[in-house]
Amino acid sequence: MHPKDSTIPNIMTDLQRAVRTALEEDIGDGDITAQLIPADRSARARVITREDCTLSGRAWVEEIFRQLDPDLQLTWHFTDGDRVSANSVIFELEGNARTILTGERTALNFLQTLSGTATTAAEFAARATGTEVKILDTRKTIPGLRSAQKYAVLCGGCHNHRIGLYDAFLIKENHIAAAGGIDKAVAQARTIKPEALVEVEVETLEELQQALDSGADVIMLDEFNDADTRSALDMAKGRARIEISGSVDRERIAQLAELEVDYISSGSLTKHLRAVDLSLRIEF
């Protein structure tokens, strides 16, 4: 998989900007430690994972070394979305030693973070295997890495919720209160951006009925128990899609998927990730 093949808007522009910012904050006015190495010295290096993971972030690594030195050669042994076993060589580099060492930390930061996101997503997706439910991410992403983490979620086999505040409506408690009710909020949303999906978050079956009557496309059940979720599914059948949110972790996924809801969303996909343990080994 490649970011260009995703449906995430502006991802390549975001990628280049994120890499440029990351390099600037790390290098500043120059890598003084790299200057210990002769400027013309060449080297080879291997990046190895110390643990099983699902890979994501190749394009970010490639952009880092493209911005530093387009002549550096990268050889990949896996592609994004692949399951990689511990102690495997993910990719190799060959070229200027200073460039390799200057880009090492930034490259590993992106790769370990995005692979950590993809690995978490793959674990969630596996728990819904054999069902029709789609596991969705949220906007609870690392600032500045929204599109990158959304892409990593796709690499892990899960799906994207709205990308930001601009591409779909998600009408919550405060919006409802400010607009004067669910029906008024949905009606106004239809006039603001008629082509956009309208989703309403509800906390009770009474609010669910109001959301159904308003014509919402998707209704998010916040902290519903299983009995109320089953009632909600009966009420919504053929009228709106149902999303489960709130207190969703790995252990709860399989149980919720059996209820045959349309979507399960979890901020854990992007905010509770643990970076994958990677290592770069260089040879002169």
List 199, 201, 207, 243, catalytic entry = 201
Helix ranges (DSSP H) in the chain: 11-27, 58-68, 97-126, 146-155, 173-179, 182-192, 205-214, 226-236, 250-257, 268-271
List 139, 172, 230, 252, catalytic entry = 172
114 close to 141: Cβ distance less than 8 angstroms: no
43 close to 104: Cβ distance less than 8 angstroms: no
List 62, 123, 183, 222, catalytic entry = 222
Q: Tell me phi and psi for residue 163, to 5 degrees.
A: -75, -40
Q: Supply 87's token pair.
A: 């102690």
262 is catalytic: no
Q: Describe the crossing of helices 11-27 and 58-68 by its angle, rounded to 10 degrees.
A: 50
223 is catalytic: no
140 is catalytic: yes
List 44, 46, 140, 271, catalytic entry = 140
List 20, 41, 50, 105, catalytic entry = 105
- Name the residue among 279, 13, 5, 1 with its Cα closest to residue 147: 13
134 is catalytic: no
Q: Mention every residue, 6+ apart, whose C-beta is less than 8 A from residue 247.
A: 223
271 is catalytic: no
Burial class (CB in 10 A: 0-12, 13-18, 19+), 94: middle
SS3 75: strand
Instruction: State the catalytic residues.
Output: 105, 140, 172, 201, 222
